Structure 1
Amino acid sequence: MIGVFDSGIGGLRLLDQLRQRWGQEDFIYLADQAHVPYGSLDRDTLLELLQQNLNWLEDQGAKTIVVACNTASATGIVRRYIGQAQVIEIISKTCELIPESARKILVLATPFTVQSHRYKQVLAQQRPQAEVKEVGLSCLAFMIEHLCPKQEILAYLQGELRAYRGQYDAAVLACTHFPFAREQFAEVLQIPLIDSESIALEAPKKAGQGTLRIVTTGSGEQLSRQLHQLMRWDTVCEHVQIEK
């Protein structure tokens, strides 16, 4: 079984891609919506939440867990996780998707991810000649999580990013929520956009039954509505209480 973890709905598009690739594998998706947005939390709080959430996924049978949340990945949870499951973070794998021709790279992320400078660190190793600019978008994940109208999101991005229009070779949407606003990013920036949805992962060693379970620490009814509006999935989502 493969577990996919995100603070909210952001990892759903990655989950969709993984299921299209490995339709016979069993998946469980956990959204920690009781604590979203992660980008405003401090490191110690994040690490505590991550440990208990990943432990829970492992207890459900997940042998591999993809941490689809960039903010969570920026904490270094892969190195710190205490458990048996293989934990995969997406920052380094997302950086691998940036074209070699890109010399000026714009990284758009949550404030926590920007403050960690994890993308700069990875890109300094992968392509030391590149110029990297990190920009924090403090409100966007919250707006997407709460299904704000597209015009409101466009107006927000215009205010935050107008100065970067056409000034970079590529922009990394360094939060899994952000691709839900890809159309608005494209209109404002007019440069190629990179995200984590097509990252390369190793194929599962053993096929499952093709089952899917979607759970949240928040409202199951709310996540079901979000799934229908954003993904057109009519899936009943469960609420779970994850204890420390």
Structure 2
Amino acid sequence: MIGLFDSGIGGLTVVRALLQKYPNVNFIYLGDTARFPYGNKSKETVERYAVEDAKFVIDKGAKMVIVACNTASSLAMEKLRKTYPGIPFVGVIEPAAKMAVQVSNKSIGVIGTRATVGSGIYDTVIHSLKPQIKVQQKACPLFVPLVEEGMFSDQITKIMVRRYLTSLRQANVESLVLGCTHYPFLQPLLQRFMGNKVNVINSAEAVVQEANDLYPDLFLETPDIHQKIAFTDTSAYNDDLAMRWLGKRVEIISV
């Protein structure tokens, strides 16, 4: 059983990437919609939330946890590994950075929440892999609430894309890392604005590949399939979005 958690619905992009490659894998996903967003919280608060989220999926049988949240991956990985030493944790930062470095030689743009950008984690990881690359980061705090409201291509979303990304487009970055798992919901819009020559790096796809490379035994499909999703603040909208985004019905359980 693979566990995943995020501050809200954004981690569903990781679940979708997981199911596209391993449609019959067992998983439990928690979206902490009651305490969303994490991107404007302190490190101590994000650590506490992440530990509680991880406990939920571990108690449900998870043998490995994908931290499907860039903010938690930036601020809480050390705390998670110390709290649950017997459980492997895979965050989204390193896989996305590796993917970006593979297709970039000069410059990489990174967009994320204030907490992720403020942590400097992407800059650190990218430069550890390829020191000569220029990294330009931009906090895009309104993208997450727009996604949570289902406003994937509304006019206000297009306005914010232009406001946030114009400087990165003018800088001619080779790649754009979507440093928040909510952002793949906006990927078509972001790609159109940046242009087809820019590699848009989806951290959801990257982390699934990384997790499978590290722990392939946990991705084995079994005849007895258990695929479950939980939200800390239940709503018909979240349940419906999960079904539509994943393209299949999965069990929605209570917290």
Q: Give the TM-score normalised by structure 2.
A: 0.87
Q: Does 1:6 align with 2:6?
A: yes
When the two structures are aligned, how many residues end up with a matched partner?
A: 240
Contact 1:91 1:119 in 2 (8 A): yes
Q: CA–CA distance in 2 between the matches of 1:185 and 1:223?
A: 23
2:181 aligned with 1:181: no
Give matches, 1:1-244, under 5 Å: 1-78=1-78, 80-81=80-81, 82-83=83-84, 84-98=86-100, 99-148=102-151, 150-151=153-154, 152-165=156-169, 167-190=172-195, 191-199=198-206, 200=209, 201-202=211-212, 203-205=216-218, 207-208=221-222, 209-235=224-250, 237-240=252-255
Q: Does the C-alpha gap of structure 1 residues 215 and 80 become closer, same or farther in structure 2, counting only changes over 3 Å?
A: closer
* Paired residue secondary structure (1:97): helix
- Distance in 2 between the 1:117 and 1:161 partners? 18
Tell me, yes or no, if the aligned pair for 1:218 and 1:239 is still in contact at 8 Å.
Answer: no
Q: Is the 8 A contact 1:25 1:204 kept in 2?
A: no
Structure 1 residue 232, shift from structure 2 partner: 4.0
CA distance in 1 between partners of 2:48 and 2:57 (Å): 15
* Shift of residue 93, structure 1, vs aligned partner: 1.0
Q: Is contact 1:65-1:86 (8 Å) kept?
A: yes
Letter in 1 for 2:95: K
* TM-superposition CA deviations, 1:21-80 (whole Å, max 9, x none): 333431111101111111111111110111111011111110000001011100142454
Q: Is the 8 A contact 1:173 1:195 kept in 2?
A: yes
How far did 1:18 drift? 1.6
Q: Give ranges in structure 2 of 5+ residues lacking alignment.
A: none
SS of 2:99's partner is: coil
Displacement after TM superposition at 1:207 (Å): 4.3
Output the amino acid matched with 2:176: A
Q: Write out per-residue CA displacement over residues 187-212 of structure 1, whole angstroms, 9 at most, x where no aligned residue.
A: 22222201113222231255442220
What is the rounded CA distance, in whole Å, between the counterparts of 2:188 and 2:146 in structure 1?
Answer: 15
Compute the RMSD of aligned alpha carbons: 1.8
Query: Counterpart amino acid of 1:114?
Result: V
Q: Distance in 2 between matches of 1:149 and 1:88?
A: 27
TM-score normalised over the length of structure 1: 0.91
Could you tell me how far 1:8 is from its partner in structure 2? 1.2
Q: State the identity %.
A: 26
Structure 1 Cα separation of the partners of residues 80 and 53 of structure 2: 13
Kindly provide the amino acid, as one letter, of the partner of residue 210 in structure 1: I
